[in-house]
A = this chain, B = another copy of it.
């Protein structure tokens, strides 16, 4: 089955927004066993849109559109689909009633222009929109399928997860497709590619390699007639990969580093305190991205000025002797914050965020301090040189090392 994506909206062609919808759907299609060969963006222009949709309809089995389903004059996706298929748009009484009720429930006045969102063509069935007013269209004709979804990413993703993807899954000839994502940190993409060479020619399971800010992710996808077979294929390949990648693996599927660390802390009933310098608040911010972090995160100090480090318990003599970017200071910061905030584990970061060198040390050099009372450890990391990247990557490394400490000790 070949799919094609058409992202609709003049704001895309003005660079006002980035087409994340296409990337999202492109990442989802392999999980359904559907191939994607073309992606296009087109503006809110009926003529050009009809032409692009027509080409997509002729060369692909499934056409997926996002955008242009709103109530304004610029929203012409329905008109484009109708023109392309040579069908007439009509107002559907049931849909119109539902849209009026949506507004009435909120005591909002419904602009009459919203009525155009209650239209269909003979070949289209509406797709419920769990998060907005515009239903999507599910259009089957001549053995082909067109799925029209809203543009706003949250609405589109919910409609995809709840309605479109399950329907597509049912259509796919009873095959089962399972996938598992393995999340790693510590090896470059090239190094991972090389380790995976024995497996890359295998199409079942297939392996997709994705470079993300929290490391290299491997997605194993298996297709089979029965669920047990697909699961077995994935489990076997996962075991082989674990044997090769071992301690570089920190999580699976939807897990985040901060979530994994949070779970480990909560399981021990430990609280975390952070003293960070070069990461400037980002490490604490990542920890607090996890809902429920108040159960295990006491707080942090962004000890940007050296006097703040000293006020919080780092001996000033240590800074004078070794420099603020040093293993000694990283260790002292972790110990001090752990004690002062009365936490079970303290983590620190000190490094050179750039753009200039500091104390003769290169941009990207970062020391991560960890202290859980029994184990004191400092890890040196060297991260890519752009300022914003340094903060992010240093924070990611710090969480990875905290996970390692929590697994090793305590």
Q: Name A's B-contacting residues (CB within 8 A).
A: 12-20, 22-30, 36-43, 45, 48, 52, 208-211, 271, 274, 279-289, 291, 293-294, 297-305, 307-308, 311, 341, 353-355, 387-388, 391
Contacts and interface: CB of A to CB of B under 8 A. Distances in A.
B291 A285 contact: no
* Residue with the greatest number of chain B CB neighbours at <10 A, chosen from A20, A39, A287, A355: A39
Contacts of A285: 279-282, 285, 302, 391
Contacts of A22: 12, 19, 41
A18 B42 CA distance: 17
Contact of A308 (B13, B42, B282, B298): B298
Given A38-B40, A294-B304, A304-B294, A16 B12 contact: no
A346 to B, nearest CB: 13
B298 A300 contact: no
A28 to B, nearest CB: 7
Nearest to A6: B40
A407 B341 CA distance: 36
7 contacts: A14-B26, A16-B208, A16-B209, A39-B40, A280-B293, A297-B305, A301-B302
A271 B48 CA distance: 55
Q: Quick one: copies of this chain in the complex?
A: 2
A297 to B, nearest CB: 5
Contact of A30 (B12, B14, B17, B387): B14
Summarize A's interface: helix, strand, loop or mixed. Answer: mixed
B23 A15 contact: yes
Contacts of A17: 23
A304 B308 contact: no
A19 B16 contact: no
Which 6 A-B residue pairings sit nearest by Cβ, starting from the closest? A15-B27, A280-B288, A281-B284, A15-B26, A281-B285, A39-B41
A283 B271 CA distance: 22
Contacts of A274: 302
Nearest to A11: B210
Q: Which of A26, A30, A40, A271 neighbours the largest number of chain B CB atoms within 10 Å of its CB?
A: A26
B13 A37 contact: yes
A287 B43 CA distance: 37
Contact of A355 (B210, B284, B291): B291
Contact of A302 (B27, B52, B302): B302
A40 B6 CA distance: 9
Contact of A40 (B25, B36, B41, B298): B41
A37 B48 contact: yes
B19 A15 contact: no
Given A23-B15, A281-B282, A355-B291, A302 B304 contact: no
